[in-house]
Amino acid sequence: MSLQGLKKRKSEVLISVSPMGWLFIFFVIPTFLVIAMAFRSADPYGGIGEQWTLNTLKDLRNPNYPLIIWRTVWLSIISTAICILTAIPAAYYISRIKKKYQDIILLFIIVPFWINFLIRIFAWKVFLHPEGMFKQLLVTLHISGPDSLLLYRPEAVLVVIVYSYLPFALLPIYASAEKFDFHLMEAAYDLGAGRLQAFIRVFIPGIRQGLLTAIIVVFIPALGSYVIPDIVGGPSAEMIGNKIAQRTFIDRNLPHASALSAILAFAVIIPSALALTRRFFKEKNSGSLGI
Amino acid sequence: MDDFLIFDGISKSFSNHKVLDNVSLTVKKGEIFSLLGPSGCGKTTLLRICAGLEEPDSGRIILNGEDITDLSPNKRQVNTVFQNYALFPNLSVFDNIAFGLRISGMKESGIKDEVYKYLEMIQLTDHARKKPDKLSGGQKQRVAIARALINKPKILLLDEPLAALDLKLRQRMLVDLDNIHDEVGITFLYVTHDQSEAMSLSDNIAVLNEGLVEQVGTPTQIYEAPRTSFVAAFIGDTNFFEGDVIEVNEPYSTLHIEDFTDVLVYNDKKIRKGDRVYLSIRPEKFTVTLQKPQLPESYNIVKGKVEEIIYLGYHTKYWVRVNEYLIETKRLHDRYMLDEKMITWGDEVWLSWHADYCYMLEQYNMEDEALLTLPDEEIMAEIESESGEDE
Query: B91: which chain A residues are within 8 Å (Cβ-Cβ)?
Result: 205
Mean per-residue pLDDT for B232-237? 89
Write out the H or E segment, with its range, that includes residue A217. Answer: helix A208-223
Task: Tell whether A290 lies on the interface with B, counting CB pairs under 8 A.
Answer: yes
Assigned CATH class of B230-390: mainly beta
Kindly state whether B130 is in contact with chain A, defined as any CB-CB distance less than 8 angstroms: yes
Q: Give residue B336's pLDDT.
A: 59
Residue B377 has pLDDT above 90, yes or no: no
Model confidence at A264, pLDDT cuts 50, 70, 90, reads confident
Give the gyration radius of chain B's Cα atoms. 25
The dihedral of CA A35, A37, A41, A42: what is its sign?
negative
What are the structural domain ranges in chain B? 3-229, 230-390
**Contacts of residue A291 in chain B, CB cutoff 8 Å?**
126
Mean pLDDT across A68-91:
94
Question: What pLDDT score was predicted for residue B340?
Answer: 67
Of A120 and A135, the structure prediction assigns the larger pLDDT to A120
The verdict on A181 touching B (C-beta cutoff 8 Å) is yes
* pLDDT value of residue B381: 57
Question: What burial class does residue B92 get, using C-beta atoms within 10 Å of its C-beta: 0-12 exposed, 13-18 middle, 19+ buried?
Answer: buried
Are B80 and A189 an interchain contact pair (Cβ–Cβ within 8 Å)?
no
- Which residues in A lie closer than 8 A to residue B149 (C-beta atoms)? none
Query: How far apart (Å, rounded) are the C-alpha atoms in residues B390 and A237?
Result: 77
> Is a pLDDT exceeding 50 seen at residue A91?
yes
B126 and chain A in contact, CB less than 8 A: yes
Question: What mean pLDDT value characterizes chain A?
Answer: 86
Tell me which chain A residues have a C-beta less than 8 angstroms from the C-beta of B72: 189
Search chain A and give the residue with CA nearest B147.
A191
B388 falls in which pLDDT band (50, 70, 90)? very low
| Strand B287-289 with B276-281, pairing | unpaired
Tell me the helix, strand and coil percentages in chain A, rounded to 5. 80, 5, 20
Q: Answer whether residue A272 shows pLDDT above 50.
A: yes
Asked if pLDDT for residue B387 goes beyond 70, the answer is no
CATH, domain range B3-229: 3.40.50.300
Cβ-Cβ contacts under 8 Å, A189 against chain B: 52-53, 72-74
The proportion of chain B whose per-residue pLDDT surpasses 70, expressed as a percent, equals 93
Q: What is the pTM of this model?
A: 0.79
Does an H or E element contain B125, and which? none
Q: Do A184 and B129 touch (CB under 8 A)?
A: no
pLDDT at A284: 56
Percent of chain A with pLDDT over 90: 40
Report which residue type is found at B284.
E
All residues of chain B having their beta carbon less than 8 Å from the beta carbon of residue A212 are none
CB B41 within 8 A of CB B196: no
**What pLDDT does residue B334 have?**
65
Q: In the predicted model, what is the mean pLDDT of residues A74-91?
A: 95
Q: Which of A179, A184, A189, A190 to mutate to test the interface with B (most CBs of B within 10 A)?
A: A190
Instruction: List the single residue in B73, B87, B104 with the smallest CB-CB distance to A190.
Output: B73
Contact flag A183-B82 (C-beta cutoff 8 Å): yes
Amino acid B335: pLDDT? 65
Give the model's pLDDT for residue B372: 74
- CA–CA dist B321, B326 (Å, integer): 5
Average pLDDT over residues A41-63: 79
Dump pLDDT digits (tens) for A190-230. 999 999 999 999 999 999 999 999 998 999 999 988 999 99
Which residues in chain B have Cβ-Cβ distances shorter than 8 Å to A206?
Answer: 89-90
The reply to whether B104 touches chain A by the CB within 8 Å rule is: yes
Would you call B152 an interface residue with chain A, using a CB distance cutoff of 8 Å? no
Of A270, A265, A273, nearest to A240 (Cα)? A265
- DSSP letter at B363 equals B
Between B223 and B324, name the one with better pLDDT: B223
- In terms of Cβ atoms closer than 10 Å to its own Cβ (0-12, 13-18, 19+), residue B234 is buried
Average pLDDT, integer, range B189-203: 92
Say yes or no to pLDDT of B79 above 90: yes
Domains and CATH numbers, chain A: 63-232 (1.10.3720.10)
Instruction: Check CB contact of A183 with chain B, cutoff 8 Å.
Output: yes
B17 dihedral zone (left: phi>0; alpha: psi -120 to 50; beta): beta
Residues 6+ apart with CB under 8 A from B121: B146, B180, B183
What's the pLDDT at B339?
A: 62
Lowest mean pLDDT, pick from A240-249, B89-98, B143-152:
A240-249
Q: Does B53 touch chain A (CB under 8 A)?
A: yes
pLDDT at B215: 95
pLDDT at residue A291, rounded to an integer: 28
Task: State whether A189 and B147 contact (CB < 8 Å).
Answer: no
pLDDT tens per residue across span B158-187: 999 888 788 888 888 888 889 889 888 899
Residue A60 pLDDT exceeds 90: no
